[in-house]
Amino acid sequence: MRFALGIEYDGSQYCGWQRQNNVVSVQETLEKALSKIANEPINVICAGRTDTGVSATNQVVHFDTHNVRKEVAWTLGVNTHLPKDIAVTWVKAVDETFHARFGATSRRYRYIIYNNPLRPAIFSTGLTFNHYPLDEKLMHKAAQFLVGEHDFTSFRTVHCQAPSAVRTIEHCQVSRQGNYLCIDVKGNAFLHHMIRNIAGSLMRVGRGQEEVEWIAEVLAAKNRCLAGVTAPANGLYFVDVTYPEKYQLPSSPLGPIFFN
């Protein structure tokens, strides 16, 4: 049987999603918990691999198993074997055509910034802190240059191994709730550090260091050296992934916490 799982995790204590030697990853931790319930080795495939320190509110994975278990075993049962910063949020049996990664039609991330002269204490590991005043309206205006199909070479790390830098962004919105800014980006796929590099560049615009049109110039230049610095990993969340309606997967609030 094949199952799809909804997963959320606080990535601050993990070296990213992907299983690696000699470090703790979200994937390895989840697979160990699933294997205990299945009583056989379980390998999972995720919708979008996240980097060190990056969190998720709606990660989707799939796995295959030969053993029959009640759905509650894959949720409550697995959660008893997981640390408190990783949790299964839903499970659904799917047919063999479902693939968490290759079947996804879009992915969505949110980058959360605490914008205040003084640092926060509560939720401090789940956001990035910027003490300079940021104009979210200018940031939103600049972000619209990124919408559509573009070559995002200027916004990917030099170590990115993707054969093409062309991606399609459906929306890139910047909003504020009190001291919290949210950069909300949805697209078909993303390059290594792409969201964090976009966030770092938009913060330059919000701070008044660059004009709104600067984002368009950086995008057209296809030169990583011209964009802003890479924003910290804490504050970045994988919040949603879209699949064809025929799978009828459960939906959950995007988060994190107070963002609708």
Strands 128-130 and 236-242: unpaired
Structure tokens belonging to residue 190: 């993303």
Q: How does pLDDT run across 132-191, given as a tens digit for each residue?
A: 999 999 999 999 999 999 999 999 998 888 999 999 999 999 999 999 999 999 999 999
Provide the mean pLDDT of the chain.
95
**What letter would DSSP give residue 230?**
P
Strands 86-94 and 148-151: unpaired
Q: How does pLDDT run across 86-95, given as a tens digit for each residue?
A: 999 999 999 9
**Same fold across 2-103 and 106-238:** yes
| pLDDT reported for residue 259 | 67
Strand runs labelled E in the chain: 2-9, 45-46, 55-64, 86-94, 106-115, 128-130, 148-151, 166-177, 180-187, 236-242
CATH class in words for 2-103: alpha beta
Task: Say if residue 113's pLDDT is above 70.
Answer: yes
Q: How does pLDDT run across 2-61, given as a tens digit for each residue?
A: 999 999 999 999 999 999 888 999 999 999 999 999 999 999 999 999 999 999 999 999
d(CA 215, CA 128): 21
Ranges of each domain in the chain? 2-103, 106-238
Say if residues 232 and 196 touch (Cβ distance below 8 Å): yes
Structure tokens belonging to residue 79: 């959660």
| pLDDT reported for residue 124 | 85
| pLDDT reported for residue 231 | 97
| pLDDT reported for residue 125 | 86
Architecture of the CATH domain 106-238 = 2-Layer Sandwich (3.30)
Active-site positions? Answer: 51
